[in-house]
Amino acid sequence: MSRKQKPVNDKALTARRRLIAHTNPKLPVVEQYRTIRSNIQFSTIEQEDIRSLVMTSSGPSEGKSTTAANLAIVYAQQGKRVLLVDADLRKPTAHFSFRLENHSGFTNVLTRKATLTDVLNQTDIPNLSVLTSGPIPPNPSELLASKNMDMVLEEMYEHFDFILFDTPPALAVTDAQILSNKVEATTLVVNSGKTEREAAKKAKELLLSAKARLLGVILNNRKIEDGGHYYYYYGNK
């Protein structure tokens, strides 16, 4: 199940610093990740806990992958068995953040060239496993829409308490919409000062048209004047 981590290099170290929920858990910003976790859990207070979540954004470079990685970490810190899936089969990044090899991964499982347990990576963070993207395929949307994806998801439920899918931006390709229709819930990351209002609205409409259960929006990089920290917020859609 576990595979060796890459040797440390400058690029890996830069990515590693983004995992602040693990490296600096006492920072005020990390408390906001815990708030996001709590709000997701409270959204189903009268039902069973959400077990699978898609995280997407309207466009690139809005902090979606960093948010997904740190949210996965705070779930794992709660004692849950967590799987972070790099479902961005076009521009994957999870292997950089966690310093992992990416010769095989999610795409190999979807094409039945490997089993899920063969390609899982147990990180040095207790309870957290990462499934890297694997080789970039020519047909990401078709793979995610396949019946095999449904079978893989069911297998993930057997092994993990919480599964988080980091997907491509919703306005760029249909991957997030496809997965949102298969999992239990979806969140949209919005970058304060960067994401255009109309782009966020369009992304929301696309997700809802795919019958996604959109829990809310995570506002990223909102500057707080008293102290100058950057926080993440969770709000209703």
3-state secondary structure 46-93: CCCCCCEEEEEECCCCCCHHHHHHHHHHHHHHCCCCEEEEECCCCCCC
The pTM of the whole model exceeds 0.85:
yes
Contact of 176 with 56, CB cutoff 8 Å: yes
The mean per-residue pLDDT over the stretch 193-221 comes to 91
Mean pLDDT (whole number) for 67-72:
96
Give the CATH number of domain 10-236.
Answer: 3.40.50.300
Q: What is the pLDDT of residues 133-155, one digit of tens each?
A: 999 999 999 999 999 999 999 99
pLDDT of 195 reads 87
Residue 3: pLDDT over 60: no
- What was the pLDDT predicted at 43? 81
Say if residue 69's pLDDT is above 90.
yes
- 84-94 pLDDT, tens digit each: 999 999 999 99
At residue 23, does pLDDT exceed 80?
A: yes
Give yes or no for residue 226 having a pLDDT over 50: no
Is the per-residue pLDDT at 14 higher than 90?
no
Which of 116-130, 133-147, 190-204 has the least mean pLDDT?
A: 190-204
Residue 93 bridge partners (DSSP): none
Supply the pLDDT for residue 228. Answer: 44
Please give the Cα distance from 86 to 56 (Å, whole number).
12
